[in-house]
Structure 1
Amino acid sequence: MCHVSSLRDLDPAVDRLPPDVRGRLVELDRLRDVWTANQRRRPSHQWPAHRARLFRRHILALHRLRGTLPVSEQTAERLVVDGFDSDNTLDAALREQLAAEEHTLISLAEASRTGERLSSAYLDEAARSLTGQSTPGLGERLAAVLADLAATPTHPVVRAALGYLAAEEAQRELGAEERFPRGTDPLAWAVASVALMRANHPPLIADHRAVAMQLPWPPAASSPDRHLPLIALFAELQIAVLRGELSWTVPERDDPAEYGQALARTVYRRLLEYLRQRAPALSMVLRQLDPASSARVTSGDSTELGEHRNRVELAADRALLARTHPSWWVCLEATCTNSTLRLLLTVQGVGAPATGVLAVTADALVDSPRGIEDALDLAPTDCVTLLSSDSADERWPEVAALTDEAISRAVDRLTSVMA
């Protein structure tokens, strides 16, 4: 059973997790092996800035979920890239709070990297910085939680879920004021992240879209399965971050140039054929609304992006991917009445070719008299990650499922705009 004293009713054994969750942990472990093997390809001078951007993204995601982020998505993305001091329109107190949270998360990451012991006093200060309140005895309780987690023989993602619940419970039992909606407690997220980083994983980075799908969160406090939704979500978020950090890698002199590209081209050709098969049925549906409607499929690679360049780059940003790597795209364009839908499915190389990692992303916009609108609003977790050792046949069902979901949601958006 779980070593965390307050969570002894929870079973941390990986072999007793639901099969789908176990399967995702296996996929995560395979990706982490690639991430570990490619650490030397990371530009070390850029590493702190990359990690800082991830932490800023995480902080803003939690604030957006709480309703305490009074800025647009575009402004939030600019804050992620340029820092919290880059926008003078932010309230000064909020800007100071965001900066303090960033400093605390960076400090926790550095302490986890070096193996520094996190004292009760240190954790008290971290808790105060993240939550805005001081709770007597909380640092000591958190130190005990982290020690118990380290002694719990299970997968690091399971430890992270247990750490999240233990941090929530510690604050509740010690009388801390409940300031945050369920699922958005920054201290609980930080404890979960430390549990992962101490096991040589990247930090846990929230996304407001992925987290919102799990709310209300988690099940009842007495449920013996209350850690399962957290394990499932944290696994998806970790896959996204591992993939994103791999995209920062750069080639070395003797690296193979074509590693993984055979799989990329196979998946690309299947996507092209799949959309060509779907286009006639879509045309028939749209012609019931407008006899002059049409649907066509185009395709190309990263040298032929043209008008699609901005959307492919935005899809990469959403998936936490660097923009500079090879890609192969397929576009389904549908026009009905005075509105046009453009759906892009892209197979993107992730980092140096030697990683052999690919990502299949989706993006869609609707251009209507109301303007140009995002038709999907996908999370970083809405992406299929492929490794060079994967079989296209085995992984195709996931790619097809992503494609079907993207088409369904995009067409729904098109018809709602026309209504």
Structure 2
Amino acid sequence: MLALGIWVLPALCVCAVGKKETGNSNEMKMWWREDPLQQSLDLVYTEIEHLKNQQLIMKQRQDDMKKVMTYCTQTRAYKESDANLTSLQEGSSPVLLPFAQDDEDEDSDSDGHLLPDPCNHYTALDQSWRATNFSTKNVACDRRVNWKGWYRMFYRGKTIQMPEICIKKEMCGTHAPLWLVGGHPRLRDGIVTRKICGHWNNNCCAFKSHPIQVKACRGNYYVYKFVQPMACHLAYCADVNTLVCGRCKKDEICTSRDKINWFCKKSPSRVKSRVHFFASYPGRLSGKVNRIQYRKVYVNVGQAFNRLTGVFTAPVTGVYQFFFSTQTANNGAKTDLWLVVNGYWVAVSHTQVSRSNSVGNLSTYMTSLRKGALVYITHNCGNSWANAASNTITFGGSLLLKRK
């Protein structure tokens, strides 16, 4: 295509000169605009510019790919090389880890402008001298650090968090260790402001340093917006007892009774969201039984059914479905079992036979319950029978839909 442009250009110049000698400049200009060779030349130049733009775009993409590969290599080296992760020296510096932005987690400022989520944009602070079990004569001072943005604390490559209790002086590689007052936030709390205290002379809050911002992130870690403390020698602590928190599963929470010994346990909200129970009475019932105490419990997910009392207590507000059954013999009398909700008889399982026969009945009931509602079965009249294998006198239910 370039060869075409070089060949056409002299011909156009010659034609233009020929027209100029006639003295009719208007005809020459008109001819110049409408000549098909000129149109072809314009297309050639346009194609050249397009190719140049494509080349620039490809070069930019190559540069971006190089940056991504460099970042991945650095991140892999950061994870695999323990020597690069920590430093016992006072002057060890934080490592900046850029993370891709998640639009769903963006915050907005007062003017409505989108702000990057600090859970995805933070500096990794991995300095083992900040640990609560570390003491040294070479004390550190965080007032000398130029704090910028958000930080996530690590200890030898493992996620860690600030202590929530008073730390002994001369620990955390400084004179007065700084700890978090008021505890860490929950995920739904977003960004919160917490007070910071430093321990000195038997006073856990001898130094009331400037407050910081904290946010809980998905994955059992926290990010902190550290600021310069009010004086030297103060330094932010990393609680080695919280190392277990980084190993908790998605359906677990990290908790502690004494803020010293930490452990993972099932999230209460998840346990309460799954409620199922099934129980039976392996014997005979006759006449009036105010509350059947089902002795065999096969399923009790959520632990909402009490086998000692026979009462189901709704652990959360929501929609529930229950079922209950009975088996009666040929005595000619009716047998009624009632489902009782908060003292009200709401549904019946009714059987009655007049001939030499046995019949059973299964009833179901669906309703909305508030947290704490009490549900049980009463044997109002008649006779019911069952044994260990038959499971004909039963009671069960499930949570279908959790509501706030």
Q: Aligning the two structures, in what range does the TM-score lie when normalised by the shorter sequence?
A: under 0.3
TM-score (norm 2): 0.24
- Structure with the bigger RCO (C-alpha within 8 Å, sep 6+) is 1
TM-score (norm 1): 0.23
Judging by fraction of residues, say which structure has more helix.
Answer: 1
Judging by fraction of residues, say which structure has more strand.
Answer: 2
